[in-house]
Amino acid sequence: MGVKLFDSELKVMNILWKEGDLSAGQLIKILKADTGWNRNTTYTVIKKCIDKGAIERYEPNFMCRTIISKEQVQNYETVELINKMFDGSKEKFFAAFLDDKNLLKEEVEQLKKLVDKLK
């Protein structure tokens, strides 16, 4: 499922992915502490997530549950990035990523293991 989420929507989603189902009131308290958002801002972002099919609401207490997984959003965003910045080429994407000279030796080894699993 491809859903484009903006940074504000990802803030809500990340809390729900981490904490599980929460009431809108609980989300308001967490986001007020983390970001300074007021009640209206939080409700607006929750509604946008519901409209996009990322969150569903149920009663009692205006409970919120994610419908899509973090992995689905990560996959969608990765494909979007590769299409937008690398002409849809995973090869170009990885070449640019691996050209970053800041990879630690352990990271290189982990990447090698990941590639070996794909064979």
Number of separate domains in the chain? 2
Say which residue, 104 or 30, is predicted with more confidence.
30
CATH number of the domain that residue 58 is part of = 1.10.10.10
Q: What is the mean pLDDT of residues 40-60?
A: 96
Token output for 96: 């640019």
- Separation between Cα atoms, residue 48 and residue 64, nearest integer Å: 13
State what percent of residues in the chain have pLDDT above 90: 70
- Separation between Cα atoms, residue 4 and residue 7, nearest integer Å: 10
Residue 62 contacts residue 55 (beta carbons within 8 Å): no
Assess if residue 76 is contained within a domain: no
Mean pLDDT score across all residues of the chain: 91
Say which residue, 109 or 69, is predicted with more confidence.
69
pLDDT of the residue at 46: 97
pLDDT of the residue at 117: 87
Residue 49 contacts residue 12 (beta carbons within 8 Å): yes
Instruction: Let me know whether 23 and 61 are in one domain.
Output: yes
Assess if residue 34 is contained within a domain: yes
Assess if residue 110 is contained within a domain: yes
Least confident of 33-37, 65-69, 100-104, 111-115: 100-104
pLDDT for residue 1 is more than 70: no
Q: What is the mean pLDDT of residues 12-25?
A: 97
pLDDT of the residue at 107: 83
Instruction: Let me know whether 12 and 62 are in one domain.
Output: yes
- What is the residue range of 46's domain? 7-66
Predicted TM-score (pTM) of the model is: 0.80
- Separation between Cα atoms, residue 52 and residue 4, nearest integer Å: 8
